Chains A and B, each alone.
Chain A
Amino acid sequence: MSLPFLLEIGTEEVPDWMIKNALEDLRARFVALGIPHESVQVDATPRRLVLRASGLVERQADSEELVFGPSEGAPEQAVEGFARKHGVSRSDLGLRSKSRGQSDSVSGSGGQSHSRSGSGGQSHSVSGSAGQSHSTSGSQYYSFTRRVAGRTTAEILAAALPGIVLGIYFPKTMYWTGKNGPRFIRPIRWLVALLGEEVAPFEVGGVRSGGVSSGHRRLGAAEVPVTCADYEQRLRDNCVILSADERRARIVAGLAGAKVDPVLLDTLVYLTEYPTAIEGSFDPAFLELPAEVLVTVMRHHQRYFSVEDAEGKLLPRFFAVMNIGSDPEGFVRRGNERVLRARFTDARFFWDSDQKKKLADRRKDLAAVTFQAKLGSYRDKAKRMKTLVKELGGKPAAVRAADLCKCDLTTELVKEFPELQGVLGGLYARAQGEREDVWQAIYDHYKPVSMEDSIPRNAAGRVVALADKLDTLRGCFRVGLIPTGSRDPFALRRAAQGVVKILVEGKMELPLLDLLEGNAELTAFFQERVKFYFKDARGFQYDEVNAAMAAGWSNLADLDARLVRIQGLRTSPDFEPLAASFKRIRNILEQAKYEGAAAAIREDLLEEEPEKELYREYRSIAGQPIESVISRLRPKVDLFFDKVLVNAPLEEVRQNRLQLLYELRREFSKVADFSEIVTTS
């Protein structure tokens, strides 16, 4: 008989952002149990993690096991004693040899099977017949086959579920029943575990599993008896929508005209059991405040969707999502409107009072804002950045921006909205009459914040952003704050990625390696980031990146240009054969430990015609771009390797040939070290 299984872990409100991973972990832990099933599905609301499976057998398949006794030559009393001990008759015993792994008296498996053989079927074939390939020796033992009844699935579940529930991974857990009690993300308040119509009994933290769920905190019943069949419907009757997709659809259906931010939407899906969107509005007078501030308040602080017109201009409206079905009296709408009004009033208060002290007058206040304990205050950082901006060739606008860009950290509005640092500095600078390139540079100097984000819009912004990130990286590496594995508290990978992106996409011809203070760890760190950028963000082949970087990677704008050339070259039919030849040249030079001679190639020592031809070709094309000579060069190289033996008996001739290859390689490795190219031939 095939049974459905339902597990519901009833909790207090689980943080929305942890739910998806927890569900996948729950699913994996259930599957790892090895109980055969047809399908498994996981769902959640903030108050319940749910796993439903179908097609579980009631009882795991019976299995058989071999029980071994005395060896063939044992006295008869011992053999009879063995039979008596296990309650089998002497005639049931047969002689078998043990296969590997059967040194104990019992072999075979009493555990559950992974095959779906159905109740009563044989799950493991008994490897009892003598002369199997496994047998280790000729010696034989008295033995018999014992039938082991399969455990019921309910038993297996009851035993495994406490470990499965408490094993679900959460980034931060708590205890609630007392010290040394179980740990979970939030207290577990009820458990539903039904296999068919029966409860799979277990207990966690004093809560026993049963068949009673719980509805919406205020719109549903506190106790809701459920069955596997009616579970989802019973929840719905009690104002809980189990399916995240359905909750999402319900929210979206109520968002006519809003900008649907997918991250916010997901948050709300997992913050609610019975979501409904409602529309509200605010006083258009607040639109005088920067849109950045208004949107941040709505989206990040109030979890509202903002609304824009067709031109992308903010409208004085918003959508909130509530965890109840309707708002007929308008209580919820008016409440949210009042909260938003208070938030906007606060923001306006801060915006106005921050204006009383100009950014330039806040520079010395930065001494009271810590950048990092070992790296001093933001005043120290700003001074370092200013110097660095000049070193990087920043124009006066960039120097001015570097001088002011951290000052917004002392404003009330940034204390209120830390995510707007930089942006607000730019807005204040604009309001205080700074030049456009200066305020834009301040506004943009944290960019790019991700691989997808754009780089600062003007040159001053790019230099300031570089200086900011480089200063952080150099300082952190200097004092040993180096990212390890997944730990990167100062977001140094993102900073380095930002540097790479700005240098490349800003086409800035700066020698990156000279900016790393000769720090070997920082250089290696950047090397990884450069590779990552060109491979994963830009889609170049890894061997192209290796080849191009082997020819130098300090000037990233140049590296970018060379990579584009290599990609173009790759389409030439001559490319791969030539790359293969360069690999051969590299091997020959490495084997000969040849590192170039001061003396030029001696024409008088060139003996054979292919060698002379290659030399003449090399002389005539040296200095020309490889694209225009590749088709001429390749046959000469091929011919050379076909006809000429580099290891000439005469040392002088040999050295001369090595020098020819050496110079050839050097000449054509300026774009890339083509020997790094992985060839198919």
Chain B
Amino acid sequence: MQSFQDSIFRLKQYWAERGCIIQEPYDVEVGAGTMCPETFLRVLGPDPYRVAYVQPSRRPADGRYGDNPNRLFKHSQFQVILKPSPDDIIEQYLGSLEAIGIDLKAHDIKFEEDNWEAPTLGAWGIGWQVMLDGLEISQFTYFQQCGGIDLDAVPAELTYGLERLTAFLQARDSVYEIEWAKGFSYGDVRYRDELQYSVYNFEMADIKTLWKLFDLHEGEATRLLAAYDPKSPVKKRFPLLPTYDHVLKCSNLFNTLDARGAISVTERVGVIQRVRKMAVGVAQAWADQSRVEAAAEVAE
């Protein structure tokens, strides 16, 4: 049987062969692979980039104490960015499914319209959800805008839901029953995460503390953004990546507070705006900083 990790190995191998850098998961908590700097910042500007990585993605509100066979607080996305997107991108994508052992002549694949939008990131794209025998296994998006910026080169983002895909390959009804590695089920590895984070996110997270943390991270990100000077000769030293980490912290705290039921109607829109403002600020500074680097390279 092809284990959870076998599928990951094969996907990494497949995309590495197609010119992708294989990254490891980002080490700050995120809600989706899209939010990692490897996607959010790298899609900006005209430079080509190809990267693939697994990203554990945290959705506090989706936690179910490990009771629900299909819902997870933390699921694993396999994320691929191809910038600019090659003309045969869909063929390459279908090839990746065949590489993990799916015979597409004997299975039903459909591309159903599903456009993606992330208000907190000022980002949206056009694309599909990919259905395999009625199961949504991937999100396929042509990015159009990120951080409020129209993208120069159009990247294709492929996101595979690894748990679902593996459950499909192993014909399991519950995520917890899938084989992660020989002798270890997904439940063996992740059940405690699901239970304990559900308890924390829904019951025990201290709302005041979370708000305090939110304010601290927001303050730090805002302070840094205000200090970024586009005219500075040494602006390429400026720590935009650490700034962005604070934005990600805010995003995750917002999600946790939301799951905790701590964000009222009137607050909600406002908090999304606050996160968006920081994310857009980082994206614009990053685009500016990259332009200088590109210009400097040309000069050299």
Contact = CB atoms under 8 A, between A and B. Distances in A.
Contact of B110 (A271, A341, A373): A271
Interface string B87-111: 1001100100000000011111111
A187 B87 CA distance: 9
B85 A176 contact: yes
B191 interface: no
B69 A342 contact: yes
B126 A302 contact: no
Nearest to A371: B265
Given A271-B110, A349-B68, A174 B134 contact: no
A320 B107 CA distance: 13
B68 A346 contact: yes
Nearest to B126: A174
A340 B134 contact: yes
26 contacts: A12-B90, A12-B111, A17-B113, A174-B144, A175-B144, A176-B85, A179-B151, A217-B90, A218-B105, A222-B91, A304-B134, A323-B108, A324-B106, A327-B106, A332-B106, A334-B171, A335-B107, A335-B168, A338-B135, A339-B134, A345-B69, A346-B68, A346-B70, A369-B265, A370-B268, A376-B265
A315 interface: no
B132 interface: yes
B152 interface: yes
A299 interface: no
A368 B264 contact: yes
B193 to A, nearest CB: 19
A17 to B, nearest CB: 8
A139 interface: no
Nearest to B68: A349
B134 A335 contact: yes
Nearest to B172: A338
B106 A331 contact: yes
A346 B111 contact: no
B94 A16 contact: no
Contacts, number: 117
B242 interface: no
Contact of B94 (A187, A217, A367): A217
A425 interface: no
A16 B113 contact: yes
B110 A272 contact: yes
A177 interface: yes
A331 B132 CA distance: 11
Given A46-B111, A178-B153, A341-B173, A329 B94 contact: no
B109 A218 contact: yes
Interface string A351-385: 00000000000000101111001001100000000
A13 interface: yes
A438 B14 CA distance: 59
Contacts of B263: 368
B128 interface: yes
A174 B142 contact: yes
B188 interface: no
Interface in B50-101: 64, 67-71, 84-85, 87, 90-91, 94
Interface string A272-285: 10000000000000
A404 to B, nearest CB: 20
A345 B167 CA distance: 15
B86 to A, nearest CB: 11
B94 A175 contact: no
Nearest to A341: B173
Contacts of B104: 217-218
Interface residues of A, number: 53
A170 to B, nearest CB: 11
A332 B108 contact: yes
A271 B107 contact: no
Nearest to B263: A368
A474 interface: no
Contacts of A219: 105
A338 B178 CA distance: 14
A421 interface: no
A218 B91 CA distance: 10
Contacts of B106: 324, 327-329, 331-332
A336 interface: yes
Contacts of B113: 13, 15-17
B94 A218 contact: yes
Contacts of B69: 342, 345
A186 interface: yes
A335 B113 CA distance: 21
A13 B114 CA distance: 11
B48 to A, nearest CB: 11
Contacts of B109: 217-218, 323
Interface in A300-340: 302, 304, 320, 322-324, 327-329, 331-332, 334-336, 338-340
B133 A179 contact: no
A226 to B, nearest CB: 20
Interface string A452-475: 000000000000000000000000
A172 interface: yes
Nearest to B102: A331
Given A172-B126, A346-B70, A370-B265, A332 B154 contact: no
Nearest to A46: B111
B150 interface: yes
Contact of B112 (A12, A271, A332, A365): A271
A322 B154 CA distance: 31
B261 interface: yes
A368 B108 contact: no
B108 A324 contact: yes
B126 A186 contact: yes
Contact of B133 (A335, A345, A370): A335
A116 interface: no
A219 B103 CA distance: 11
Interface in B142-201: 142, 144, 150-154, 168, 171, 173
A370 B270 CA distance: 13
B120 interface: no
A332 B133 contact: yes
Given A186-B126, A324-B105, A368-B264, A331 B133 contact: yes
A288 to B, nearest CB: 18
Given A335-B135, A368-B263, A178 B154 contact: yes
Contacts of B171: 334, 338
Contacts of B290: none
A634 interface: no
Nearest to A350: B68
Nearest to A325: B105
Interface string A205-224: 00000000000011100100
Interface in A167-190: 172, 174-179, 181, 186-187, 189
Contacts of A189: 87
B284 interface: no
